[in-house]
């Protein structure tokens, strides 16, 4: 089969030629520079799912780690439990049904097909909100915030808490297209998001993000894109650039600085690999489901142990359930996007290096910024750090549960934070 074994692009092209409603937007053949917004439905061929299961079943395992914690990486018992669940209990079609129950679209922006979920609230004065996932996430991590954000009255809120919600897949992630040219860093994605909101007819909107989504969202703010009236973050990406300049006086500041130092020292390998050698690590991730799963599970300590407990002890934390965890990994597998997603780190590292080398501070933010610190985050940013980056911080709160994948793990709490953070912006409009 080698040599005839298709690359992802070949597979997509085949589907398109066959006219199937598939991973690809239905109208790929339509003219370029098409500004149309096309409906999208997920329907993965059964053969792809069968192939995945066959590969998981044929896994050749390494020997067990030599320690009894995560200090050598994803533990064998955790990954074996995940693999067992993946082949014996997980049903991708359920995830597909969850996605297809929501209005999904594709539109080409700046030469790349952008997939997005777009749920309009039935409340007239809902505030449009574009929310961006991160790595190793996807729109899957945001699905359970859709109902509380768009239909607040059914979820403990008031009609005036409603949002019209736009959830795009980052370029190179999920059902969005893979950039084939250089330059798709978070800044370019930020411009694409502004175009997306414009194309959807939203002239006054807010944005939200954590992880890579925080970077994109913050750059929308710094670029002062038209229509953006404020944004909310649950990760402070500036720490990556200026972490050594942030205050370390209070106990909370020292704890956060220690956590960041530990991350740089011990938890940064995945970041460095994707930022410098994305293609190299991709060969295994495209070829081996367990390699992909391990790479995705080995993110931050808090989420790793929560996920590990879900599989090994059957005790998920919040909404980080076995099904949603495997849904997300399966999405990466079936779309074959591990390489293009990893490449986004290479692009962002290049952009960051150029920004630092320029010696110029980033443009000031002119819209209100809200921030929520979740306790399990890699570095749980204290208010002083957030204020150092955003002197006119409009909203800050520290909540008592949730971690790096806040929207995924605690969708209700997360939604309540967004309602609170953006409340003042509604009256202003």
* Residue numbers at the binding site for other proteins (CB under 8 A): 1-3, 5-9, 55-63, 65-67, 72-76, 79-80, 83-84, 87, 178-182, 266-270, 272-273, 275-288, 290-291, 293-295, 297-298, 336, 338-340, 343, 346
H or E element at residue 365: none
CB of 292 to other proteins, least distance (A): 9
Q: Collapse the DSSP code of 130 into the 3-class scheme (helix H, G, I; strand E, B; otherwise coil) and give the result.
A: strand
368 vs 313: CA distance, rounded Å: 43
Query: Please, which residue, 74 or 365, has the CB nearer to other proteins?
Result: 74
Can you tell me which residue has the tokens 């997603």? Answer: 341
CB of 71 to other proteins, least distance (A): 8
404 a catalytic residue: yes
CB of 3 to other proteins, least distance (A): 6
CB of 83 to other proteins, least distance (A): 7
Sign of CA dihedral 85, 170, 406, 206: negative
CA-to-CA dists, residue 369 to 119, 226, 232, 239, 335, angstroms: 24, 16, 6, 16, 34
CB of 44 to other proteins, least distance (A): 14
Contact residues for 10 (Cβ-Cβ < 8 A; gap 6+): none
Query: Please, which residue, 330 or 373, has the CB nearer to other proteins?
Result: 330
Query: Please, which residue, 48 or 95, has the CB nearer to other proteins?
Result: 48
Q: Could you check whether the bond before residue 114 is cis, i.e. omega within 30 degrees of 0?
A: no
**Is residue 422 a contact partner of residue 232, using CB atoms and an 8 Å limit?**
yes
Query: Please, which residue, 128 or 243, has the CB nearer to other proteins?
Result: 243
307 vs 80: CA distance, rounded Å: 13
Query: Please, which residue, 77 or 224, has the CB nearer to other proteins?
Result: 77
Which structure tokens are listed for 352?
A: 């960051």
Exactly one of 345, 348, 390, 395 is catalytic; name it. Answer: 345
Exactly one of 113, 161, 185, 211 is catalytic; name it. Answer: 211
Q: Where would I find the H helices in 313-371?
A: 322-335, 338-358
Pick left, alpha or beta for residue 359 (phi over 0 → left; psi -120 to 50 → alpha; otherwise beta). left
345 a catalytic residue: yes
Range 79-84 contact pairs with CB under 8 angstroms and sequence separation of 24 or more = 79/290, 79/293, 79/294, 79/297, 81/311, 81/312, 82/293, 82/297, 82/311, 82/322, 82/325, 82/326, 83/56, 83/59, 83/289, 83/290, 83/293
313 burial level (CB within 10 Å; 0-12, 13-18, 19+): exposed
CB of 25 to other proteins, least distance (A): 17
Query: Please, which residue, 284 or 393, has the CB nearer to other proteins?
Result: 284
Query: Please, which residue, 87 or 153, has the CB nearer to other proteins?
Result: 87
Q: Collapse the DSSP code of 193 into the 3-class scheme (helix H, G, I; strand E, B; otherwise coil) and give the result.
A: helix
CA-to-CA dists, residue 266 to 260, 280, 298, 309, angstroms: 10, 21, 12, 22
**Is residue 421 a contact partner of residue 372, using CB atoms and an 8 Å limit?**
yes
Q: Where would I find the H helices in 211-288?
A: 211-222, 238-242, 251-266, 269-276, 278-287
CB of 348 to other proteins, least distance (A): 13
Query: Please, which residue, 147 or 242, has the CB nearer to other proteins?
Result: 242
Instruction: Please count the other Cβ atoms lying within 10 Å of the Cβ belonging to residue 224.
Output: 13
Task: Report, as residue numbers or ranges, the catalytic residues.
Answer: 211, 345, 404
């Amino acid at each position: 089969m080698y040599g005839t074994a298709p690359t992802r692009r070949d597979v997509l092209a085949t589907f398109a030629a066959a006219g199937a409603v598939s991973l690809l937007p239905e109208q790929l053949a339509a003219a370029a520079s098409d500004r149309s917004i096309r409906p999208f439905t997920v329907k993965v061929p059964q053969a792809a799912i069968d192939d995945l299961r066959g590969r998981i079943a044929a896994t050749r395992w390494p020997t067990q780690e030599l320690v009894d914690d995560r200090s050598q990486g994803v533990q064998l018992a955790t990954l074996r439990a995940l693999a067992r669940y993946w082949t014996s209990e997980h049903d991708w079609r359920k995830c597909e049904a969850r996605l297809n129950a929501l209005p999904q679209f594709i539109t080409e922006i700046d030469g790349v097909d952008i997939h997005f979920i777009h749920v309009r609230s039935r409340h007239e004065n809902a505030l449009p909100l574009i929310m961006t996932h991160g790595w190793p996430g996807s729109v899957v991590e945001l699905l359970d915030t859709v109902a509380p954000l768009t239909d607040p009255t059914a979820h403990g809120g008031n009609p005036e808490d409603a949002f019209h919600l736009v959830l795009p897949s980052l370029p190179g992630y999920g059902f969005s297209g893979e950039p084939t040219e250089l330059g798709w860093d978070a800044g370019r994605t930020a411009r694409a998001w502004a175009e997306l909101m414009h194309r959807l007819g939203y002239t006054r909107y807010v944005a939200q993000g954590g992880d890579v989504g925080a970077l994109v969202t913050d750059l929308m703010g710094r670029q002062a894109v038209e229509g953006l009236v404020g944004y909310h973050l649950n990760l402070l990406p500036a720490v990556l650039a200026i972490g050594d300049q942030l205050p370390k006086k209070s106990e909370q500041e020292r704890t956060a600085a220690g956590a960041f130092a530990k991350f740089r020292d011990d938890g940064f390998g995945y970041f460095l690999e994707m930022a410098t050698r994305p293609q190299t690590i991709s060969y295994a991730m495209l070829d081996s489901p367990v390699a992909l799963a391990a790479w995705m599970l080995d993110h931050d300590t808090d989420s790793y142990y929560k996920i590990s407990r879900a599989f090994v002890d059957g005790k998920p934390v919040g909404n980080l359930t076995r099904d949603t965890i495997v849904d997300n990994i399966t999405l990466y597998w079936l779309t074959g996007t591990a390489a293009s997603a990893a490449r986004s780190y290479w692009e962002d590292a290049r952009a960051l290096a150029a920004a630092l080398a320029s010696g110029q501070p980033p443009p000031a933010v002119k819209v209100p910024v809200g921030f929520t610190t979740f306790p399990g985050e890699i570095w749980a940013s204290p208010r002083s750090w957030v204020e150092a980056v955003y002197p006119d911080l409009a909203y800050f709160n520290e909540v008592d549960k949730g971690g790096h994948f806040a929207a995924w793990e605690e969708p209700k709490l997360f939604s309540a934070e967004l309602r609170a953070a953006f409340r003042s912006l509604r009256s202003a409009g």
